[in-house]
Structure 1
Amino acid sequence: MSPRKQPCSLFKLCIKSCVNLVNSACYVIEKSCPENMFDECERQAFELKCHLMSMLPVRLFDVLCSERTCCQYRGDPRVQLHVLTHPNMTVFRKCDLDNGIPQPFWIETLCNFSRLVVLDLKFICTDEILQVIGVSCPLLEEINIVSRVDICKYLFNASVLIRNVSDAGLCSIANLKHLRVLAMDPPRNERANRVGRCVSQAGIIMLVSELPYLEELRIESCDIGSTLIGTVMNIGPLSLRKINSHFASADGIRKLIKICPFLKELSVTHLSEHNKDAILNQISLSDLRLNRLDLSFFSYTDSMQQLLAIKGNYLTHFSLWEIDHSLTLDAVLSIGQFCPNLSSLCLMTQSKCLVIPRYFKRPEKIFSELKSLTIGNENFDIDHILTFFLDCTQNLEKLVLKYQTITNLDATLLHLLEKGSFRNVNYLWLDCTLEVSKEVVKQVIQTCEKLQMFTVDFTEEMTDVHKYINENNLDLKLGSY
Structure 2
Amino acid sequence: MSPPKQPQRLFQLSIKSCLNVINYACYVIEKSCSEGEFDECEKKVYSLKCHLMTVLPCRLFDVLCSERTCCQYRGDPRIQLHVLTHPNMTVFRKCDLDNSIPQPFWIETLSKFSRLVVLDLKFICTDEILNVVGLNCLLLEELNIVSKVDIYKSLFNASVLIRNVSDAGLYSIAPLKLLRILAMDPPRNERANRVGRCVSQAGIIMLINELPRLEELRIESCDIGSTLIGTVMEIGPLSLQKVNCHYASADGIRKLINICPCLRELSITHLSEHNKDAILEQISTSELRLNRLNLSFFSYSESMQKLLLFKGCYLTHFSLWEIENSLTLDAILSIGLCCTNLNSLYLMSQSKSLEVPRYFQRPNNIFNNLQHLTIGNDTFSIEQILTFFLNCTSNLQTLVLKYQTKVNIDNTLSSLLRKGCFKNIDNLWLDCTLEVSKNVVKDIIQSCDKLQMLTVDLNEDTSDFHRYISDNNLDLKLGSY
Q: Same fold (TM over 0.5)?
A: yes
Q: Map residues 89-100 of structure 1 onto 2, 5 A cutoff.
A: 89-100=89-100
Match of 2:138 in 1: 138
1 CA distance for matches of 2:404 and 2:87? 55
Match of 2:119 in 1: 119
Q: Any idea what SS the aligned residue of 1:429 has?
A: strand
Match of 1:470 in 2: 470
2 CA distance for matches of 1:439 and 1:100? 49
Contact 2:116 2:139 in 1 (8 A): yes
1 CA distance for matches of 2:386 and 2:279? 31
Task: Measure how far apart 1:107 and its partner are.
Answer: 0.1
Task: Measure how far apart 1:459 and its partner are.
Answer: 2.5
Match of 1:59 in 2: 59
Contact 1:2 1:475 in 2 (8 A): yes
TM-score, normalised on structure 2? 0.99
2 CA distance for matches of 1:226 and 1:157? 32
1 CA distance for matches of 2:53 and 2:387? 58
Contact 1:371 1:395 in 2 (8 A): yes
Match of 1:229 in 2: 229
Match of 1:165 in 2: 165
Task: Measure how far apart 1:460 and its partner are.
Answer: 2.0
Contact 2:2 2:445 in 1 (8 A): yes
Deviations 1:26-70 (A, max 9, x none): 000001111111111111000000000001111000000000011
Task: Measure how far apart 1:157 and its partner are.
Answer: 5.5
1 CA distance for matches of 2:462 and 2:195? 50
Match of 2:32 in 1: 32
Q: Any idea what SS the aligned residue of 1:232 has?
A: coil
Match of 2:194 in 1: 194
* Bigger Cα displacement from structure 2, 157-166 vs 229-238: 157-166
Which consecutive residues of structure 1, in runs of 5 or more, have no partner in the other structure? none
1 CA distance for matches of 2:12 and 2:322? 46
1 CA distance for matches of 2:299 and 2:273? 10
Match of 2:451 in 1: 451
Match of 1:147 in 2: 147
Match of 2:397 in 1: 397
Aligned length: 481
Match of 2:207 in 1: 207
Task: Measure how far apart 1:229 and its partner are.
Answer: 0.5
Q: Map residues 378-393 of structure 1 onto 2, 5 A cutoff.
A: 378-393=378-393
Write the letter of the residue equivalent to 1:311: K
Q: Map residues 98-109 of structure 1 onto 2, 5 A cutoff.
A: 98-109=98-109
Q: Any idea what SS the aligned residue of 2:159 has?
A: strand
Write the letter of the residue equivalent to 1:45: V
1:18 aligns with 2:18: yes
TM-score, normalised on structure 1? 0.99
Q: Any idea what SS the aligned residue of 2:37 has?
A: helix
Query: Which aligned segments of 4 or more residues in structure 1 are displaced greater than 4 angstroms?
Result: none
Write the letter of the residue equivalent to 2:5: K
Q: Map residues 218-297 of structure 1 onto 2, 5 A cutoff.
A: 218-271=218-271, 274-297=274-297
Write the letter of the residue equivalent to 1:129: I
Q: Any idea what SS the aligned residue of 1:36 has?
A: coil
Write the letter of the residue equivalent to 1:386: L
Task: Measure how far apart 1:273 and its partner are.
Answer: 6.5
Write the letter of the residue equivalent to 2:344: S
Task: Measure how far apart 1:272 and its partner are.
Answer: 5.3
Contact 1:437 1:460 in 2 (8 A): no
Q: Any idea what SS the aligned residue of 2:186 has?
A: coil
Task: Measure how far apart 1:270 and its partner are.
Answer: 3.1
Deviations 1:264-306 (A, max 9, x none): 0000013457111000000001000000000000000000000
Deviations 1:376-413 (A, max 9, x none): 02110000000000000000000000033001111111
Q: Any idea what SS the aligned residue of 2:41 has?
A: helix
1 CA distance for matches of 2:237 and 2:452? 43
1 CA distance for matches of 2:3 and 2:331? 38
2 CA distance for matches of 1:270 and 1:187? 20
Match of 1:422 in 2: 422
Contact 1:296 1:321 in 2 (8 A): yes
Match of 1:350 in 2: 350
Q: Any idea what SS the aligned residue of 1:478 has?
A: strand
Write the letter of the residue equivalent to 2:198: C
Write the letter of the residue equivalent to 1:207: L
Write the letter of the residue equivalent to 2:392: C
2 CA distance for matches of 1:272 and 1:332? 27
1 CA distance for matches of 2:125 and 2:73? 23
2 CA distance for matches of 1:377 and 1:247? 25
2 CA distance for matches of 1:149 and 1:204? 19
Match of 2:2 in 1: 2
Q: Any idea what SS the aligned residue of 2:351 has?
A: coil
1:75 aligns with 2:75: yes
